[in-house]
Amino acid sequence: MSEPTQHTANTTSEPRAYQKQHSVLTNEGDVFDIIGAEKGIVEQGTIVTDKKRERRSMWSVVRDASKEWAGGARSRVEQLPIFTKEPGLTVADPRERVEVITEAATFGKQRPSDDHKSVISRIKTLESDARHISHQPITLREAPKPRPAQWGHFVGETATQPRTIPPERSTPPPAPLPTAPPTPKPLPTAPSAPQQSAPETTASAVFHGASQQEKSVPRVSRRTTSILHAFFAHRKSLAVGLLGVLLIGSGTSWYLARPTQPVATEPPAAPSFFPVTLQTPILLNPSTGTFHESLAAHRNINTSEIEQLYPVVTVGSSTPTTTSELLSVLAPHLNPALARTADETSMVGFVTVDEKREPFIIISVPSFDTTFGSMLAWEAQLTTDLYPFFSVTHTASFSDIQIEGQSMRAQYFTPGTTAAVYGFVGRNFLIITETPNAFVTLSLLIQQSIAP
């Protein structure tokens, strides 16, 4: 076992010698006097355990080992409280006491100062100075004396004052009753005899008539009177408002009861697969170049969202040509079998997509296989036949693409830019246009129109 750790004890102000004894409480070879702490003698040091002199049992060794293994044993430093002496009474220096007594005796012999006299002397000095400067005496105003109380009371005495009785209120005389206005006299047409004076009416008769008239007049409440006054004061405004309400009501009833006339809608000039914004006739010229130039000229003429150009045979005619007649001029290298099997309804025009007008051709076909085979054979001359209706002519091959769930074949003349795109919607509609976005827009329009 290792030697105990030595700690230096702090010596107190009153050292004391102790006899060395064999004890486990060590302090650098000295022995702590624990009993002396009760007498006010305090020592500071560290209590350690001398394991050489301590006889421990097997159970205590096992218990301490388990505590150290579990982390429960910790070293603690115990320090006895430091007892300090309370400060007692101190005796002052003799010289300080003499000074205190001398100062007290000096102030005790002095007479208290008279503030009144000092103030008066200052006032007199001020008065003489002012008189010397202004050559006029100064009059000091005295403070006003308090006035005696103006009231008082006497114990045991009662002051009796005569009570003044207010005069009785006299009942005002009743107002005279209104008399009936005199009736106008008719104009005399001929001299008549002088009229006799009316018989005199006694006071009793007048009073009797007044009482009868008063009994016959019913009493009206104040609220009713105020309502009547307000009505007569604003009778013109009320009349105008009532007339306006009657006019508005009669006009509304006539508008609701009038017979509804059906709005005449002009039927479309040419059949279409979906609603369009504008329909414009165009002359189908047998000359291919002239017809394509006429179609291309409408790219920048109108700015409508969807414009349908329906070809006619003669100027001023409203009957559109058939699909076979249109394809024979529009696509001369297309397989004639497609033109013969196609339906009579077809559409040619422009659609605005992303602020750009794109050309389109829509044909209703009954046979998907025949139409698709004819389109594959026409791919090499497609842009050449449709130019300048389609703005670019190119001879590159087509490739399959899919955009937004729509399958189509596209021809690219630069990376990312298409010259022509075609595809099918529901295996019954063929769409030919320039860009995939235009194809998707037209496909959605057809699907919305054929949806139940």
| Res 253: pLDDT | 79
| Res 76: pLDDT | 46
Contacts of residue 276, Cβ cutoff 8 Å, sequence gap at least 6:
268, 306, 307, 308, 349
Q: Under DSSP, is residue 159 helix (H, G, I), strand (E, B) or coil?
A: coil
For the beta carbon of residue 349, count every other beta carbon within 10 angstroms: 26
| Res 255: pLDDT | 76
Tell the residue number behind the tokens 């003499």, with chain if given: 98
| Res 18: pLDDT | 46
| Res 213: pLDDT | 47
**What is the DSSP annotation of 295-351?**
HHHTTTT---SEEEEEEESSTT--PBPPHHHHHHHH-TTS-HHHHHHS-S-EEEEEE
Helix residue spans in 135-182 (DSSP H): none
**Among candidate residues 22, 26, 25, 32, the one with its CA nearest the CA of residue 12:** 32
What's the whole-model pTM score?
0.44
| Res 383: pLDDT | 93
| Res 142: pLDDT | 64
| Res 448: pLDDT | 93
| Res 411: pLDDT | 95
| Res 161: pLDDT | 57
| Res 59: pLDDT | 83
Contacts of residue 303, Cβ cutoff 8 Å, sequence gap at least 6:
352, 357
**Among candidate residues 372, 360, 373, 368, the one with its CA nearest the CA of residue 420:** 360
> Using an 8 Å Cβ cutoff, are 415 and 348 in contact?
no
10-residue averages of pLDDT along the chain (452 residues): 46 47 49 53 52 66 77 50 64 72 72 65 64 60 66 52 61 60 58 51 46 53 70 74 84 74 57 92 80 89 86 83 90 89 91 94 93 94 93 92 93 92 94 96 94 78
**Among candidate residues 438, 433, 442, the one with its CA nearest the CA of residue 411:** 433
Q: What is the DSSP letter of 35?
A: G
Starting at the edge strand found earlier in the chain, the sheet holding 306-312 runs 278-283, 306-312, 346-353, 356-364, 429-433, 417-425, 406-414, 399-403
Q: What is the CA radius of gyration of the chain?
A: 66
Burial 390-423 (b: 16+ CB within 10 A, else e): bebbbeeebeebeeeebebbbbbeeeeebbbbbb
Structural domain boundaries of the chain?
A: 1-82, 278-450
E-strand ranges in 127-201 read: none
> Using an 8 Å Cβ cutoff, are 138 and 125 in contact?
no
| Res 339: pLDDT | 85
Q: Under DSSP, is residue 76 helix (H, G, I), strand (E, B) or coil?
A: coil
Query: For residue 234, what are the CA distances in angstroms to 183, 230, 237, 297?
Result: 31, 6, 5, 72
Q: Is the dihedral of CA 333, 339, 341, 346 positive or negative?
A: positive
